[in-house]
Structure 1
């Protein structure tokens, strides 16, 4: 049985092991992400969580002061983010089902026979499919552009529904992004792309890594802070 608690002060604990030198704690939404070097054992992680408990308590208090996030009702008139802009949802009936961005609206077309919970589930399905498709297209485009600028060559670029991180880069050069990041403004998306691509040079968060990030994103500190403060609203 692992010595690492599954939950600390109401936050779900997620441990992310990677090639890095130090441990770091991040809160994303209702998750407490513990980023640690690969060699660090469970007991050491548990000790870090115990040591950082006052810091976690303070962050939990901050979260409680933020108004609770209201789930979407998935009806016409609701606002949805895409690349930092708000678009109103327009639900309509038809046989060419799906979601498209047209005339300044996110238009969701569903079959007339779908009502109640089935209608809501279908709109959710179409919206997520649209977001994932747009995210893959945009993130691949941005990755290609910044890869040339940075001087790296990712093996592949894909999207996934991470619970509490914005991207990952493994030893094989596979770069994966959280598709929800496509809801953020362009500058924030660019920061996440640059961040992950720079891991192809430095697979850690060392001083050298941040220097490379800073060369390609002069405002990375502001962008990183934006994600810490507002990123949870994108998930």
Structure 2
């Protein structure tokens, strides 16, 4: 029996089986996500990867032409995205620690005693906490609004730090979003919300599913492409 390779052309292979009719490939960050119907075995997945190798090679070449993402130093003046806009970070010392959006800046307040590497890690923690909090708040608002428009009732909304997906919807109706999506423009966030809510009607990526998505986001192909090309920069 042919085993599924752990990686292809430097991309880590992740197989996602779900209720769908056809196979599809998605490159998310350094992961090659293979989405297949539940009944498809490992041998057919491996054969699909072999068949798609030219396509994967061309996509890897495209990725390699993109300038490498520089890690943040977490110092004053750096730019951070939130709902499509960029805000400068302002690091200040004080005892009311945390991050807030004020006066057009993302203000990170840390204790004067925190210095060096510990200072950097603390700023990173505060920023992540702020993003997660804002993500949950705004995604709940958007989910409530679009659920009413689509005519569905999700069982709950939460956020997580997914490595290679922007959201998920399980059989119980629980919708989970990648909190990093809150960095994207409103239209992209809306698309992800609509996408997951439509899975409450069609738990697959069939033609019927995309027809429902298109009724609530006519520009969804452009929004999907935006995530494929620029989504890695949000992670």
Q: Structure 1 runs of 4+ off > 6 angstroms?
A: none
* Equivalent-residue separation in structure 2 for 1:195 and 1:133 (angstroms): 22
1:230 is paired with a residue of what secondary structure? helix
| CA apart distance, 1:2 | 8.6
Tell me what 1:113 maps to.
113
In structure 2, what is the Cα distance between the partners aligned to 1:15 and 1:71? 28
| 2: CA distance, partners of 1:36 / 1:174 | 22
CA distance in 1 between counterparts of 2:234 and 2:89 reads 17
Distance 1:121 1:4 in 2: 38
Structure 2: unaligned runs, 5 residues or longer:
none
Query: Is 1:97 equivalent to 2:112 in the alignment?
Result: no
TM-score normalised by the chain length of structure 2: 0.98
Q: Secondary structure at the match of 1:172?
A: coil
Compute the RMSD of aligned alpha carbons.
1.2
Report the CA distance between 1:136 and its aligned residue: 0.5
Confirm or deny that 1:171 pairs with 2:161: no
**Uncovered stretches (5+) of structure 1, i.e. residues with no partner:** none
How many pairs does the alignment contain? 235
Q: Could you tell me how far 1:219 is from its partner in structure 2?
A: 0.8
Contact conserved, 2:2 with 2:46, CA < 8 A, in 1?
Answer: no
Name the SS of the counterpart of 1:44 in structure 2: helix
Map 1:20-169 onto structure 2 (within 5 A).
20-169=20-169
- Deviations along 1:14-62, whole A, 9 cap, x unmatched? 1112111111100111111111112211221111111111111100000
Q: Distance in 2 between matches of 1:130 and 1:198?
A: 28
Provide TM-score, normalisation by structure 1: 0.98
